[in-house]
Amino acid sequence: MLECPPEPNVILPFRADDAKSVCDAFELLAVICGVLQQAARLITLMMELVN
């Protein structure tokens, strides 16, 4: 139990001296944020069905 943190934990690898690497990391971060946003929306909808 509690072997890992309860919140999403993401490591975004990038090289600070490589502009493409930084851009790729931010694109991946945008995708992750979108997934978390949709997950939160889904949980909200599910909770409305329970109430």
pLDDT digits (tens, 9 = 90+) for 4-39: 666 767 889 899 999 999 999 999 999 999 998 999
Q: How many CB atoms lie within 10 A of CB 37?
A: 10
Residue among 14, 9, 33, 10 at smallest CA distance from 24: 14
pLDDT digits (tens, 9 = 90+) for 1-12: 567 666 767 889
Distances (CA, A) of 19 to 25, 34, 49: 10, 23, 46
Predicted TM-score (pTM) above 0.75 = no
Burial class (CB in 10 A: 0-12, 13-18, 19+), 22: middle
